[in-house]
């Protein structure tokens, strides 16, 4: 199966700082990357869809100025949580989209963010 990596796997930061999460597709090219957030004991919620070379599309209720997404290449997408606050503490997961109907979605291992 496809290999997706995320870095860092976990991060603890102070309130007000910014945190960058990298998502890499190691053995394929992803023109689109989905970013999800998962709060403890809850389901995954789609935050945004990043497209290589263009602006990301954000889901309703997700602040685009707070969650900056960059999809600079076909193998790298980044999510930056700006001016993080404790309520941003969550598990962030990326998932590349192959664009084919029924294609298996692969997920990164996730990044656990704790904002103090």
Partner 1 sequence: GNSVTQMEGPVTLSEEAFLTINCTYTATGYPSLFWYVQYPGEGLQLLLKATKADDKGSNKGFEATYRKETTSFHLEKGSVQVSDSAVYFCALSDPSAGNKLTFGGGTRVLVKP
Residues lying near partner 1 in the complex (CB under 8 A) are found at 1, 32, 34, 41-46, 49, 93, 95, 97-110
State the Cα–Cα distance between residues 44 and 113, nearest whole angstrom: 15
State the Cα–Cα distance between residues 116 and 12, nearest whole angstrom: 7
Residue 27 DSSP label: S
The residue among 9 and 73 lying less far from partner 1, judged by its C-beta, is: 9
State the minimum distance, in angstroms, from the CB of residue 34 to partner 1.
7
State the minimum distance, in angstroms, from the CB of residue 110 to partner 1.
5
The residue among 86 and 102 lying less far from partner 1, judged by its C-beta, is: 102
The residue among 16 and 109 lying less far from partner 1, judged by its C-beta, is: 109
* Residue 38 tokens, joined: 């998962």
State the Cα–Cα distance between residues 71 and 49, nearest whole angstrom: 10
State the minimum distance, in angstroms, from the CB of residue 80 to partner 1.
21
- Nearest one of 19, 2, 1, 31 to 113, comparing CA atoms: 19
- Nearest one of 102, 98, 50 to 77, comparing CA atoms: 50
The residue among 43 and 87 lying less far from partner 1, judged by its C-beta, is: 43
State the minimum distance, in angstroms, from the CB of residue 16 to partner 1.
28
């Amino acid at each position: 199966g496809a290999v997706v990596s995320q870095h860092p796997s976990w991060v603890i930061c102070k309130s007000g700082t910014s945190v960058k999460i990298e998502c890499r597709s190691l053995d394929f090219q992803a023109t689109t990357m989905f970013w999800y957030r998962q709060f403890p004991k809850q389901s995954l919620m789609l935050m945004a869809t990043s497209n290589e070379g263009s602006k990301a599309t954000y889901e309703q209720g997700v602040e685009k100025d707070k969650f900056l997404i960059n999809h600079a290449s076909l193998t790298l997408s980044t999510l930056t949580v700006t001016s993080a606050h404790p309520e941003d503490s969550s598990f962030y997961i990326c998932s590349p989209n192959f664009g084919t109907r029924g294609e298996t979605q692969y997920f990164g291992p996730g990044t656990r963010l704790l904002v103090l």
